Structure 1
Amino acid sequence: MERIALTNKTFEGNNNAYLFADGSETVLVDTGDRLPGTYDQLESQLDDHGVAVGDVDRIFLSHWHGDHRGLAGPIQNESGATVYVHEADAPLVGGDEAAWEAMVDTQTDYFDRWGMPDAKQDAVMEVLDSVAWQDEPPDVTTMADGDTFQVNETTLNVVHAPGHSVGLCLFELDDGTEGTDVLSSDALLPKYTPNVGGADVRVERPLDQYVDTLRAIASADYDRAWPGHRSVIDDPTDRAEYIIDHHEERSYRVLDALRRHGPCDTWTVSDDLFGELHSIHILHGPGESYAHLEHLEREGYIHRDGTEYQLADGVADQLDRREDDRWPLDV
């Protein structure tokens, strides 16, 4: 397997595509985005490994986001490659207009519920429109949790890992040697913590699902994780546990924001956590705040009246007693 690093000017850190070309077929896992220049980068790096875009036989997409699926259509047009994606994300990757319209309707509904100012809504929709790349979508073949695929001398085991996206999948790599590596996509990143709540507004109980995914990664005790952005993660269990701790700290900060501000909406909590937001973070900030607020409301620690949240009785006292500035996640 070869890691192909591709630039990414919209999100955090270079994208990774993964190339399997050590046998009778050529396979890519993810393709990078579709911004100008990315196709040329991919073509050049494939050439460095002795293959061409037209040689690609199969593409496995970790999820529907444009910086992972962006070039699937153009590659398929060039090579005739079969494009696999989880069944939950297939309509979006395949360009289903009804699925996209439903996504946009859900986003705009959440923007209003979160209290996002109109100017910020316009700004983030401009960013989303610029990276959606719904033109030239690929024909897709669906895959599901537990599916296995033989790729030359390596077996890819599909592991559904929802949270960041409804259909996000990991790929466990079994090459016959001791230990197991995993292609972790955006479920586990080496520097930033993957966004939940805003990155895919279709996800129900986004924080709960993502923490479940992290706990499953930690329990799997992988040797290494090859992420969707940046460099390899040498201790995936430690990284997964760190991100769980991070979200417990964030839940504490969400509750503390409500303690200090009194009843307020999601946008106010987001501003308290992240400050002024620009570009795609206009979506990610309130989205992640919402993910925590939604979880805490279901657990009974806060109450919602319309679009405003407030602490339940006794929670302020519990916060005072927390010496570690973390709020345990009962997920």
Structure 2
Amino acid sequence: MDGLAGLPLKEVLPGILMFTLPVDYGIDHVNVYLIRESEGWCLFDTGAECEAARALWLRALAGPLAAGLTRIIVSHHHPDHLGLAVWLHERTGAQVLMRQEEVAVARQTHVANAGDRAYCIDFMRRHGMAPEDAQQVVGGVLQSNMACAVPTRTEPLEAGQTLHIGAHAFDVLVLGGHSIAQICLYESRLKLLLTGDQLLERITPNIGVWPYGETDPLPRYLESLRTIAGLDIELVLPAHHDVYHAGVKRAHGLVAHHQKALRKFMARLGAGGMNATELGYAVYGAQSDPLHAYLAMGETLAHLLWLERSGYARRDETPAVTRWYPVTAADGEPTLTLSGDMSR
């Protein structure tokens, strides 16, 4: 997609640009957004730390974005969002704004020491991953493709805070589930929502349990969808694929997706017990590589925790493995709604 100056940069609203950058792992792109201010551009997310993305940034900063960056807002710690924050700060001097919980998780996951790596491998092993696959995920993928520099100094962002960016006043939303404290920005006059990964149209955000970060993410994600469904939204600016309308409808659709997933997990959870990797395989099928098996395991754990808390499943933990069992006395099927709490 060529836009301004032959770059993958286009105006989605007057004074608001979408910059689509390549990612060299997993999904192949990420959208970051620029909002015009009097002295330059405020940036929402930064892109992954890869040569192709850096090359596009250099061209943009020498061309359409020559006015420079005023501030860098990082929605959450995942490397396609945080990846170039330090590099851009060093080049432009723009201050980085980020939730402190996200900074802490970033330091654990992106610059992990030997002890952290051992903890991550043990976490995966206890949930059923083969030791060699866990080693490959931690030593190969998480510490190479997905590692990135973490800012040493950031300005905090608070829920309910108003950020004045150029001619716009954005409400800061702090939403959980996909990450521990993801930032979304809502502009009520334009009925505009910048969502990061929290609300995507064509794919479902990964809601998983990992060695660090969210310990019970699905309830927090559903609560975030309730928050979004209460907004008056005309245009969504997501991190992946194109901008879209019908954000509230998409929030309801994601609730339906997770309700369907919960019922699948219940149906496949065998009476003899299964670990999270086994159940993930039963529901999602064989994965193409250890990283995708890890993602499936994390998502499976998130749904198992909901089923356990709601009385549909129980766990048996040993030092070697955690196994999950159906609760045969449970009645009915899981029901999720945006109008109230989760219920049967």
TM-score past 0.5 threshold: yes
Identify the residue that residue 129 of structure 1 maps to in structure 2. Answer: 143
Q: Is 1:74 equivalent to 2:81 in the alignment?
A: no
C-alpha distance in structure 2 between counterparts of 1:143 and 1:267, whole Å? 36
Identify the residue that residue 119 of structure 1 maps to in structure 2. Answer: 132
Identify the residue that residue 219 of structure 1 maps to in structure 2. Answer: 230
Q: Does the C-alpha gap of structure 1 residues 248 and 106 become closer, same or farther in structure 2, counting only changes over 3 Å?
A: farther
Structure 1's unaligned 5+ residue stretches are 320-326
Q: Does the C-alpha gap of structure 1 residues 103 and 29 become closer, same or farther in structure 2, counting only changes over 3 Å?
A: farther
Q: Is 1:269 equivalent to 2:279 in the alignment?
A: yes
C-alpha distance in structure 2 between counterparts of 1:7 and 1:145, whole Å? 30
Identify the residue that residue 101 of structure 2 maps to in structure 1. Answer: 88
Classify the secondary structure of the residue corresponding to 1:20: strand
C-alpha distance in structure 2 between counterparts of 1:120 and 1:96, whole Å? 20
The percentage of aligned residue pairs carrying the same residue is: 26
C-alpha distance in structure 2 between counterparts of 1:318 and 1:81, whole Å? 54
Larger displacement relative to structure 2 (78-87 or 191-200): 191-200
Structure 2 residue corresponding to 1:305, chosen from 297, 309, 316: 316
C-alpha distance in structure 1 between counterparts of 2:126 and 2:242, whole Å? 37
By relative contact order (CA 8 Å, sep 6+), the higher-ranking structure is 1
Shift of 1:157: 1.7
Q: Is 1:281 equivalent to 2:292 in the alignment?
A: yes
Q: Is 1:51 equivalent to 2:66 in the alignment?
A: yes
Identify the residue that residue 10 of structure 2 maps to in structure 1. Answer: none
Classify the secondary structure of the residue corresponding to 1:120: helix
Matches within 5 A, 1:254-265: 254-259=265-270, 262-265=272-275
Shift of 1:132: 3.8
Q: Does the C-alpha gap of structure 1 residues 100 and 110 become closer, same or farther in structure 2, counting only changes over 3 Å?
A: same
Identify the residue that residue 3 of structure 1 maps to in structure 2. Answer: 18
C-alpha distance in structure 2 between counterparts of 1:107 and 1:127, whole Å? 13
Structure 2's unaligned 5+ residue stretches are 1-15
Shift of 1:46: 4.4
RMSD: 2.4
Do the aligned residues in 2 keep the contact of 1:165 with 1:200 (CA within 8 Å)?
A: no
Identify the residue that residue 35 of structure 1 maps to in structure 2. Answer: 50
Tell me how many residue pairs correspond in the alignment: 316
C-alpha distance in structure 2 between counterparts of 1:169 and 1:286, whole Å? 25
Shift of 1:97: 9.2
Identify the residue that residue 26 of structure 1 maps to in structure 2. Answer: 41
Shift of 1:47: 4.5
Structure 2 residue corresponding to 1:169, chosen from 173, 179, 183: 183
Matches within 5 A, 1:182-193: 182-193=193-204
Q: Is 1:60 equivalent to 2:73 in the alignment?
A: yes
Shift of 1:211: 0.9
Q: Does the C-alpha gap of structure 1 residues 106 and 185 become closer, same or farther in structure 2, counting only changes over 3 Å?
A: farther
C-alpha distance in structure 2 between counterparts of 1:171 and 1:26, whole Å? 16
State the TM-score, normalizing by the size of structure 1: 0.87
Shift of 1:274: 1.6
State the TM-score, normalizing by the size of structure 2: 0.84
Larger displacement relative to structure 2 (243-252 or 12-21): 12-21
C-alpha distance in structure 2 between counterparts of 1:303 and 1:133, whole Å? 35
